[in-house]
Amino acid sequence: MSLVTKRSLGLLAAAAVLVGACGGSATPSPSASAEPGATAAPSEPASNLADEQVLRVDIAGEPPTLDPNKAQDSNSLAVLRALHRPLVYINPKLEVVDALAESHTISADAKTFTFTLRDAKYSNGDPIVAGDLVYSWRRLVDPRTAAPYSYVMAEVVGGSELLAMAGADPLPADAEIDALLEKFGVSAPDDKTFVVTLSTPATYFLTAMTLWVGVPIQEKWITSENATEAANYVSSGPFMLDTWQHQSEIILKPNPNWYGDIKPTLTEIRMSMSPEPAQAMAAYEAGELDMLLPVPSEDIERVKGDPTLSAEYAEESSLAITYYNYNNGQNPQGTGIAERCKDPKACPTMNKNFRAALTQAIDKTAFQNATFAGTGRVAGSFVMPGIPGALADYEPYPFDLTAAKASMDKALQELGYASAADIPALKFGFNTGSGHEPRVAFLAQAWKDAFGLQTEQVGSEFGVFLSQRTAGQYDISRNGWGADYPHANNQLSGLFTCGGGNNDQQYCDKAFDDLLTQAASEPDQAKQAALYETAGKMLSDGAVSLFLRWGVNSQLIKPYVTGLTKTPMDSQVPGEHFYETIQILKH
Amino acid sequence: MATVSRPIPGQIVRSRSSAGLWSDAFGRLRKNRLAIVGLVLVILLLLTGIFGPMIAPYPYDQMDLKAVFAAGGGPLPPLSPGHLLGTDQLGRDLLSRLLDGARISVSVALVVQVVIIVIGVPVGAVAGWFGGRLDNTLMRFTDVIYAFPDLLFIILLSVVFRETVLAKALDGLLVVFVAIGLTSWVTVARLVRGQLLSLKETEFVEAARAIGVSDRNIVTRHLLPNGISPILVAITLGIPAAILAEATLAFIGIGVQPPRASWGSLIAEGQKYIRSEPHLVVFPAIAIALALIGFTFLGDGLRDALDPKLKGKQ
Amino acid sequence: MISYLVRRLLWIIPVLFAVSVITFTLMHAVPGGPWDREKRLPASVQARLNNEYGLDQPLPVQYVSWAIGFVTGDLGPSYRFQDRRVNDIVMSGLATTVQLGIMAFVLSVLVGIPLGITAALGHNKWPDYTSTGVAIIGIATPSFVLAILLIVVFAVQLGWFPTGGWKGPEYWVLPTIALAGFPIAVIARYTRASMLEVTRKDYIRTAHSKGVRNQSVVTRHMVRNALIPVVTILGPTLAFLVTGSFIIERIFNIPGVGQFYLNAITTRDYSLLMAMTMLYAFAVAFLNVVVDVLYAYIDPRIRYS
């Protein structure tokens, strides 16, 4: 998320809070349950359990890092969720519940969070103290760490100054940075109390704290040589890093000092790192893996038709979306129309009726059937169902060729073209080698059939594609997003805000940004959700992007794996948020 | 003009009249059954590449989603109505796409070899004829090219020149062909150099010089035509390598721009369906196999036919 | 001979230098960088990372500092795997890749040469046709197709071998076969062709007419002379094994440096890319010299000045 938006959000929020705070009502604690995870304890009688409690899964590639402050890739996360737990965590219903924290309170002005820690120890036997949380959070926001998710600390007192410092060249002196870190809004009045002070109210902050980046970290551990290698790794979660054979295998074993109520039944989790999805699929079928996520979409039909495999197959909703960008014409900084779109005829996607026409010409169900093996849920808006503020069934531009032609006629009139065939071929960008070709071909063909619209399909290598898309060089491009944490703010801010760090639709509308700022300081959950719904409707009504489908996790699970606690946030391993409940039956 | 020369042991030397040499070789080629098979396949490939798309039942990018959905989704198998070899998951006819892919394979065969000849022959000729320091420098230069990992070079080149006219030509393939050519010309250069090194010491060259024929004419009108056979063989045998290189690159996502498909990209797409719809891999693989076999056997046959050590001994 | 060998080996150094400059330049000419992700990093964080890894320096400066590190044996930090040094990454994968290459090479020689010899000896009879048939399959099947087929048939359906990984001898079988398929065919064909040529030579007829027994004729004269062209294609064969390993390692999930190579290009892991390019360039250049020396050794008619 870009700092520009964060700062402007902050200023506006400060103004808004003066209105909100006068209400005087304390923000209710988001969840009633006190048990970590609030998940069901495994209930299989011991006689049914296999002698060997070993789980074999694949995480699709070597994790670039297992440093909690610095991790960002889904395969790193699949491992980290077993090794560490934050203060608060999600439960299968995506509610925020206490984890490392025994309890927490939020001040009336929604700016101060106080956590009381449980009695807990690391895998090395040392007690987990609040000071470790202070250290970890400071390290996260420290410009010298250059952590990708440091931006979640922007609302904390002193956070935005520290984040801005990261881009400074040269970096200010260590003493100066340390001084700012001292003033950073986290403190540990005693070993069991951790206090966070925000500079502006941020209603999503508690949900953001379920991220892996804010876990307690011992300074003496992370600063030691080769800290993240298996021999030295210190974890605070249900499992420990027993072995890390690079590029080959990670083996996790239970942490004897795990403080949670549910202790792991598994004695070992073996994670392979296959770079080729077809190989992982073959490995599952050969019985070398116990679970597989995702199932390659080309195999789904065969799996569903096979008597054994279809019984092992499941589809769970996931917090991901497949969507395609229209170029809405703004420059990447969000400060005005981009150069290439100064002449509206050069950027037809800047025209709302044009975008509406394109959207109405797509049969999203057919798209899903043809290119995703029918998996998924057709989407008319962005925020995924299950997150407060989502619009699960809102579709202002359903598939309707007549309406599409009508919208296109209006657009052509406004743009000054006689027919769609006169429009110079639109640049349709995508990255090669990831299976997007059929989807791009489907859409291009649909638009050609409906309007005679020409598109130039431009497939590029991934890095090249990213830089082109960021620079706004495409008229239409493919995109996708998966939630970092289950809150509407994570889905909308940064992607659709002016100059947002992940804004690939060249979209900018002050009214939209204002709605998000309002929601950020609205303590009432229902009102908050309503604000996000309004913002979401703005995007859908404006046909800002082509929202196609919300993802599902298509997975294969052997019948002897039981006790899985699945959540829609799983991305690499089913039940990856709660490995401790998994059990293996006799087989 | 028949002249006599003493062949230097271990090196290939040509010293007979051109006309007699070629008819001799062609006779040997005709008797080599495998080579004839290869020749037939090569001619077949060339014809398919030129005329294929005209006889294709559909345009290569035409989708038939109705039929796909009627059958419950997924690629259609061979012998489906209207689709002899089946379709991919968007209903695009495999036979038509294969015929279009033939065009690409023929282009690989031609363009890459043109690049190789245009660079390799002059470099080798200059090095072989002048010898000495120039030869040394050029050979070290070829060492660098030879040592460079070609895959890396091809990938980097095709990515660096993404936005240029070169990259857009031939649906993104021209730059790949040029890159493949740039990494493969070394063998031909070395061959040409070897030929010239041995031939320039022969008596008939001395005689030509004595008459006053210019160096350039000696090289272009006497030495090269006589020395051309191993080059011809090398080129013919280099084509399978180029076709394979294109297929491998397509497999890792570099090369032909969708919706066009080369045989390699068809395999890359199709291998995801290998358990349920193997036809998507089998037919392109057969096509590649036939092309590879054709050029390889033809090249082998040419080599056997043109080998001077076999002359007069059949 | 020795001076020739030393001179050729010394020439490897400027060759490597040239390769490093070309790679470095091309690498940085490509758009995109090591911090690219679908979910973009904040611009300030990218700037900080660039500063930390020296990517904001002018290119010549970056090259010089890389070169100094390279010469002193420090290959730098990996850009993608932020907790690891390139030295470690290469070291941990190198043995695996070399082992795979050697096994594939040995297999292709052990199968290819006898295949070619029996084909030549049984010229135009069934041994010839069988061996030609095997050669056809080897030439015509790209290694990645062969790999996929082997996995589907022998690993998934028959279950005789694992689908991937490198944890013991049973893991070595399928990848080695997949990698060796093409070289077996090439070596077999070259051996057959040169054996056929040699049988027509005068000295063989002389030996025969003198009454020397068939067996010793074969082993002593034919094989030694027939090996000459085989040594010629050793170079390209080894080069093929080197580059073929990229795809095979990926398909079979083998933890060697080849698998990393393709990824390093996509993820713009500059230091890893430079290290592995230098490694491959050195291997190819060195093997080139070895092949040339072997060639001279086997064929006494060839002598280098």
Instruction: For residue A167, give the amino acid letter.
Output: G
DSSP secondary structure string for all residues of A147-214: -TTGGGGTTBTTHHHHHHHTT-SSPPPHHHHHHHHHHSSEEEEETTEEEEEBSS--TTHHHHTTSGGG
Which residues on B lie below 8 Å from A399 (Cβ)? none
pLDDT band at B296 (very low <50, low <70, confident <90, very high): confident
Residues in chain B with CB shorter than 8 Å from the CB of A556 are none
Task: Determine how β-strand A455-460 pairs with β-strand A426-431.
Answer: parallel
Per-residue confidence band for C65, with pLDDT thresholds at 50, 70 and 90: very high
CB atoms within 10 A of CB C71: 8
C6-52 pLDDT tens trace = 888 888 898 899 989 989 998 888 888 899 888 888 888 898 899 88
The minimum CA-CA distance between B303 and chain A, rounded to whole Å, is: 39
Report the alpha-carbon distance of residue A150 to residue A131 in Å, rounded: 19
| Mean per-residue pLDDT, A508-530 | 91
| CA A422 from centre of chain | 40
Residue A254 clears pLDDT 50, i.e. is over it = yes
Q: Which amino acid is at C218?
A: V
Higher-scoring residue by pLDDT: B229, A553: A553
Q: What is the pLDDT of residue B208?
A: 74
Q: Let me know the angle formed at the C-alpha of A305 by B275 and A49, rounded to the nearest 5 degrees.
A: 95
Give me the DSSP letters along B208-249: HHHHT--HHHIIIIIIHHHHHHHHHHHHHHHHHHHHHHHHHH
CB contact under 8 A, B269 and A301: no
Q: What is the pLDDT of residue A83?
A: 96
Please say if the pLDDT value at position A21 is more than 70.
no
How many contacts does B have with C, using Cβ atoms within 8 A? 114
C180–chain A nearest CA distance, Å: 20
Residue A343's Cβ-count burial label (10 Å; 0-12, 13-18, 19+) is exposed
Q: Which of B33, B148, B236 to mutate to test the interface with C (most CBs of C within 10 A)?
A: B148
Question: Tell me, what's the pLDDT at A390?
Answer: 94
> What gap in Å lies between CA A63 and CA A77, rounded to an integer?
8
Chain-chain contact of B251 with C265 (C-beta, under 8 angstroms) = no
Q: Is B88 on the interface with A (CB under 8 A)?
A: yes
Residues contacting residue A219 through CB under 8 Å, at least 6 positions apart: A132, A135
Q: Is it the case that residue B25 has pLDDT exceeding 60?
A: yes
CB contact under 8 A, C33 and A463: yes
Helices (H), C267-298: 270-298
Alpha helices in A509-549 (DSSP H): 510-520, 525-541
CA distances from C250 to A359, B29, C144, C184, C243 (A): 39, 42, 10, 21, 12
Banded model confidence at residue C243, pLDDT cuts 50, 70, 90? confident
Alpha carbon A22 to chain centroid distance?
A: 34
Indicate the residue of B34, B148, B252 with minimum beta-carbon distance to C22.
Answer: B148
Q: What residues in B contact A460, CB-CB < 8 Å? A: 159, 162
Q: CA torsion sign, A364 to A369 to A370 to A372?
A: positive
Which of A65, A146, A278 lies at the smallest CB-CB distance from C48?
Answer: A146
Among A62-76, A196-210, B51-65, name the one with the lowest average pLDDT: B51-65
Most confident of A510-519, B150-159, C43-52: A510-519
SS (H, E, C) A27-41: CCCCCCCCCHHHCCC
Alpha-carbon span A499 to A482, nearest angstrom: 20
Q: Report the DSSP beta bridge partners of residue A269.
A: A55, A252
Question: Tens of pLDDT along B45-72?
Answer: 999 988 988 888 898 888 888 888 888 7
**Is pLDDT at C261 greater than 80 in this prediction?**
yes
How many CB contacts within 8 angstroms connect chain A with chain C? 146
Asked if residue A487 lies in contact with residue A460, where contact means CB atoms within 8 angstroms, the answer is no
CB A496 within 8 A of CB A544: yes
Please report residues of B whose CB lies closer than 8 A to that of C146. Answer: none
Distance separating alpha carbons of residues A299 and A289, to the nearest angstrom: 16
Helix (H) or strand (E) run with residue A241 in it: strand A239-245
- Report the gap between the CA of B10 and the closest CA in chain C (Å): 6
Q: For residues B140 and C155, give the distance between their C-alpha atoms in angstroms, rounded to a whole number.
A: 46
- In this complex, do C253 and A480 lie within 8 Å of one another by their Cβ atoms? no
In the predicted structure, residue A37 carries a pLDDT above the cut 50: no
CA distance A580 to A89: 14
Residues of chain A neighbouring C32 (CB-CB closer than 8 A): 461-464, 466-467
CB pair distance less than 8 Å for B248 and C142: yes
Helix, strand, coil: what percent of chain A each, to 5? 35, 20, 45
Spatial distance between the Cα atoms of C101 and C242, rounded to a whole number of angstroms: 7
Mean pLDDT (chain C) is 83
Q: How far apart are the C-alpha atoms of A216 and B258, rounded to whole Å?
A: 48
For B89, the closest of A438, A445, A464 (CB atoms) is A438
Encode pLDDT of C97-151 as tens digits: 989 999 999 999 899 888 888 887 777 778 788 888 888 888 888 888 899 889 9
- Sign of the CA dihedral with C33 first, then C37, C39, and C42 last: negative
DSSP assigned state of C142: -
* Contact with chain A for residue B149, Cβ under 8 A: no
Q: Hey, what are C134's tokens? A: 């095997």
B248-287 tens-digit pLDDT:
888 877 777 778 888 888 988 888 888 888 899 999 989 9
Burial degree of A559 (CB within 10 A; 0-12, 13-18, 19+): exposed
- Edge-first strand order for the sheet with A54-58 is A54-58, A268-272, A249-254, A239-245
Interchain contact, A282 vs C164, CB within 8 Å: yes
Residue A227 φ/ψ, nearest 5 degrees: -60, -35
On the 0-12 / 13-18 / 19+ scale of CB atoms within 10 A, A190 is exposed
Phi and psi torsions of C39, nearest 5°:
-90, 110
**Side-chain-side CA neighbours of residue B73 (13 Å):** 19
For residue A474, count CB atoms less than 10 angstroms from its CB and return exposed for 0-12, middle for 13-18, buried for 19 or more: buried
Strands A193-197 and A186-190: antiparallel
- Please give the pLDDT value at position A221: 95
What ipTM was estimated for this complex?
0.85
Predicted TM-score of the model (pTM): 0.85
Indicate yes or no: CB of C89 within 8 angstroms of CB of A273: no
Instruction: Identify residue A41 by its one-letter amino acid code.
Output: A
Beta-carbon contacts of residue C157 (< 8 Å; ≥ 6 apart):
none
Encode pLDDT of C138-185 as tens digits.
Answer: 888 888 889 988 998 999 889 899 998 898 999 999 999 999 998 898
The helix-helix angle for B173-199 and B150-160 (nearest 10°) equals 130
Residue reference for tokens 């359906």 = C157
Among B229, B292, B237, CA closest to B26:
B229
Distance, in Å, from the CA atom of A392 to the CA atom of A408, rounded to the nearest integer, reads: 27
Tell me the percentage of chain A whose pLDDT exceeds 90. Answer: 73
Provide the shortest C-alpha distance from residue A248 to chain C (in Å).
Answer: 6
Burial class (CB in 10 A: 0-12, 13-18, 19+), A382: buried
- Give the up-direction half-sphere exposure of residue A44: CA atoms within 13 A in the CB hemisphere: 19
Which pLDDT score, from 0 to 100, does residue B66 have?
84
Closest CA to A509 of A481, A487, A542, A478: A542
Q: Where are the alpha helices (DSSP H) in C79-168?
A: 86-121, 126-140, 143-150
Q: Mean pLDDT check: name the lowest of A46-55, A245-254, A278-287, B237-246.
A: B237-246
Q: What is the 3-state secondary structure (H, E, C) of A248-292?
A: CEEEEEECCCCCCCCCCCCCEEEEECCCCHHHHHHHHHCCCCCEE
Please answer yes or no on whether A464 and C165 come within 8 Å at the CB atom.
no
Is B13's Cβ below 8 Å from some Cβ in C?
no
User: Is C139 in Cβ contact with B293 (below 8 Å)?
Assistant: yes
Both tokens of residue A162?
């520290």
Q: Which of A371, A373, A441 sits opposite B258 (nearest CB)?
A: A441
What is the tens place of the pLDDT at every residue in B176-235?
Answer: 888 888 888 888 888 788 777 777 677 667 777 778 777 777 766 666 666 677 777 778
- Do B151 and C139 lie within an 8 Å CB cutoff? no
Q: Which of A527, A582, A544, A537 is nearest to A560 (CA)?
A: A582
By the 8 A CB rule, do A523 and A201 touch? yes
Unique residue bearing structure tokens 């393939």? B173
d(CA C111, CA C115): 6
Exposure of A125 by Cβ count < 10 A (0-12 exposed, 13-18 middle, 19+ buried)? exposed
DSSP string, B266-312: HHHHHGGGTTT-THHHHHHHHHHHHHHHHHHHHHHHHHHHH-GGGTT
In this structure, are residues A340 and A347 in contact, taking their beta carbons and an 8 Å threshold?
A: yes
Spell out a b/e string for A232-241, using b for 16 or more CB atoms within 10 Å of the CB, else e: ebbbbbbbbb
Residue C15, chain B, CB below 8 Å: the answer is yes
